[in-house]
Amino acid sequence: MRISVKAPLKAILAGEHAVVYGYPAVAVALDTYVRVTAEPGDDSFRVETELSCEGNVRAEITRDGNVKGFRSESLHEELTYVATAVRKASEEFDAPPSNLRILSEAPPASGLGTSAAVTAAVLLGLAEVSGVNVSREEIRRLVREVELEVQGKASWTDATVVTYGGFVRVSGREFELIEPERNPVLVVAHSQEPSRTGEMVRRVAELRERLDIVDGVMELIGELVDDLEAALRDGDLRTVGELMNANHGLLAALNVSTRALEEIVHVFRSAGALGAKVTGAGGGGCAVALFEREEDAKRAVETLSALGYEAFVTRPSPCGVKTE
Ligand code: PMV
């Protein structure tokens, strides 16, 4: 028996960082995926992954989540999500030792929620191998538990969007699926610098301790998320874009942008993007832009590629984690 599962990556249209403090965020699942195959194996969980920049990696994970056979600390960080998901699947589904193969269409540590997508796909794959019928809500809860364990602090954003797909508004553990009036074209560009979610969340927490204005910045982000959600529902993409631009300015105020991300955002805007911003934790990783016209989006990708950035056109995906 061999199970194939895919889980979407995501972009945050507005609200990252502030969402950790209870403000709302709007995120969208992308038509760009992590794929996992799972099949019963011998005596432990054997993982083969092409997630890492270091190429193909093999590791062995015990039922209680210990990783053997990794070569470096950076690899260990990526595999920690997989190992924690394996331990959860052993506890919750009594998952048998299995062979897991993990492939991603985007680089890890890119701010596109790769870790949540991998976690969700491993959990669903192992539930299927175990013959356990797992609900979406249960997957969402388990993904969030894994993220909390590995990162320390985490909102429900990634866990929700990877589980349900589409456009999602998240506030605390509550969420609502948004049906937009019009579907935008999205472009994602990678700054070629890693974005480490846990570290960036800690840095923003430290800034919040020191500067009184940080709460005010987050309140403004929360307000613009509400306006962006309304504009999205109405199909007013111009306003959605303007609010993404405003959100980018506020993320820069939280000091999570970088020189490369600023360059990408400005290239997007020159190419005719309705809006462009950092997506995810920042400090590296990706920027996302909203375009009305596919030809403008393609032009932006060409310009960014010529500058040495990895960029691609994508669309919202209606599907969350599922078997293929
Ligand atoms: O970098 P990503 O894709 O894991 O997104 C992080 C988003 C934050 O708001 C910074 C953290 C969170 O848990 O919501």
* Domains present along the chain, CATH in parentheses: 3-177 (3.30.230.10), 180-314 (3.30.70.890)
CA distances from 309 to 24, 42, 260, 267, 319 (A): 30, 42, 9, 11, 28
User: Is 144 touching ligand 1 by the criterion CB < 6 Å?
Assistant: no
Return the exposure string of 129-145: e unless at least 16 CB atoms fall within 10 Å of the residue's CB, then b.
bbeeebeeebbbbbbbb
Cα–Cα distance, 188 to 317 (Å, whole number): 14
**pLDDT tens-place string over residues 126-166:** 999 999 999 999 999 999 999 999 888 889 999 999 999 99
Give every CB contact of residue 142 below 8 A, 6+ residues apart in sequence.
Answer: 85, 88, 92, 119, 123
Of the residues 94, 158, 212, 234, only one is catalytic, namely: 158
**236: part of which helix (H) or strand (E)?**
none
- The better pLDDT of the pair 77, 285 is held by 285
Can you tell me whether residue 67 is helix, strand or coil?
strand
167, pLDDT greater than 70:
yes
Whether ligand 1 lies within 6 angstroms of the CB of 316 is answered as: no
- 158 CB within 6 A, ligand 1: yes
For the entire predicted model, the pTM comes to 0.94
Q: How much distance in Å is there from the Cα of 281 to the middle of ligand 1?
A: 5
Q: How far is the CA of 88 from the centre of ligand 1 (A)?
A: 22
Minimal-distance CA residue to ligand 1 atom 14: 155
Asked about 158 being catalytic, the answer comes back as yes
What whole-number distance in Å separates Cα of residue 242 and Cα of residue 71? 45
Neighbours of 73 (CB within 10 A): 7
**34-86 pLDDT, tens per residue?**
999 999 998 889 999 876 555 677 888 988 888 886 555 555 667 889 999 99
Taking residues 198-206, report their average pLDDT.
Answer: 93
The finding on whether 160 has its CB within 6 A of some atom of ligand 1 is no
